[in-house]
Structure 1
């Protein structure tokens, strides 16, 4: 009997190994059962390109372009291709009204669409259909500020001008799948004499304020004399162009 003990131990060891091997075998999913999403191979997202920018204008809007306004093109994502930026405007008839002095006015809001040039067509980069007020808004003691866009050094510049009272602009850069605001600049004037100039870099969180010490000059013998003040500002997050509800409500 002692001679058979090694043989019995060997048989038990082999049986145990076979049992553990069988337990580790992967379980096959029957063909008639649904395959869990986690096991499915990831599908490559196919981006549909369009040849005509008009194909990106949503229903209820039209291309907005004032007389003399040039096409807005430039490389916004560093691929050496000219991307396209354009304004749109709503067509809601209920936003038209008769002004006592200016006649029939269209108060539909305006929006922006940015397209990447992919060589054989255009791809939507970002959009915001209602972030700009109408060009026919009241301007207080002056007319409504003029809005124009430009591509400068790979950035999108959204500019406002209020005649002799000054101007302000917002700088956006392609970041994180959208266009994020990275800068703000403004100058407030009294005729030809500047009062204050402000420049904010939202990436470095630095703000420069230039106060004109000769702001009360009548302009005829004006001599430039600014006092510069630097300060660090708090920036929790960069604003995305697609998220801005109304540029008129932004404050810096």
Structure 2
């Protein structure tokens, strides 16, 4: 994995880059960089419940905005994501995907037949503010409920399947719009653990 030299020098000691994506995040037509990093701690290399040796070091994110031949590191959150090998009990851990589209940064958790949830961030004042959250709760191929939250308009769309016993493709959804108010925005730099970021609970408690 080739990392631009000026950026490689900014990676903290004791961490390795496991993934990188590129795209314009601040509308200056330059290719900014998002690095997913992982701590290097041998004590977190363990044997799991199936006898397999796995790396349970947590993951984090570095975001650097390109400025001609240099980079400006605006986000350094080194442990906000759990390990891809985290123990999930009866469930397998979700797959985490990263994407840049239309200037926004997306963190997408895919959980197979159980659905997915996704966070949308936008650059603002040297941080990335949470502007959207989507959650799909599934039972196999059947969608049971979809929630879409827009933090810019402070509106939430809830789509509930009225016929959950029907086969996939025959869902009938009831749509409900709710208005909410958030006193403060959520910045990526402030998120300590995405696994404990309970969006709907936070909205309910702020009303």
51 and 96 in structure 1: CA distance in 2 versus 1, 3 angstrom threshold: closer
Q: Which runs of 4+ in 1 moved over 2 A?
A: 50-53, 139-142
Q: CA deviation at 1:218?
A: 3.7
2:183 corresponds in structure 1 to: 236
Counterpart secondary structure, 1:164: helix
CA shift for structure 1 position 102: 4.1
| Equivalenced residues, count | 196
**Distance apart, 1:146 and its partner CA:** 0.4
Larger-Rg structure: 1
Of 74, 77, 81, which residue of structure 1 is paired with 2:26? 77
Q: 1:226 aligned to 169, 173, 177, which one? A: 173
Return the alpha-carbon distance in structure 2 between the equivalents of residues 53 and 148 of structure 1.
22
1:70-149, aligned counterparts within 5 Å?
Answer: 71-149=20-98
Q: Structure 1 CA distance, aligned partners of 2:102 and 2:93?
A: 28
Mapped to 1, the partners of 2:35 and 2:196 lie a distance apart of 22
SS in 1 for 2:8: helix
Deviations 1:160-198 (A, max 9, x none): 000111011101111122111111001011111100000
Q: Secondary structure at the match of 1:56?
A: coil
In 1, Cα distance between equivalents of 2:120 and 2:89: 26
Determine the C-alpha separation between the residues in 2 that align with 1:214 and 1:152: 34
Q: TM-score, normalised by structure 2?
A: 0.90
Contact 1:164-1:189 within 8 A present in 2 as well: yes
Bigger drift between 109-118 and 138-147 goes to 138-147
Confirm whether residue 175 of structure 1 aligns to residue 124 of structure 2.
Answer: yes
Runs of 5+ unmatched residues, structure 2:
201-207
TM-score under structure 1 length normalisation = 0.74
Match of 2:195, SS state, is helix
What CA distance in whole angstroms lies between the structure 2 residues aligned with 1:58 and 1:231? 43
Q: Is the 8 A contact 1:51 1:122 kept in 2?
A: no
Q: For the Cα contact (< 8 Å) 1:106–1:136, is it kept in 2?
A: yes
**Superposed CA RMSD:** 1.4
- Is the aligned partner of 1:54 residue 2:3? no
Deviation at 1:100, TM superposition (A): 3.3
Deviation digits for residues 192-245 of structure 1, max 9, x if unmatched?
Answer: 1100000001111111000011212244xx413110011112211111101100
Q: Of Structure 1 and Structure 2, which has the larger fraction of its residues in strand?
A: 2
Match in the other structure for 1:195:
144
Write 1 or 2 for the structure with the bigger share of helix: 1
Shift of 1:150: 0.5
3-state SS of the aligned residue for 1:147?
strand
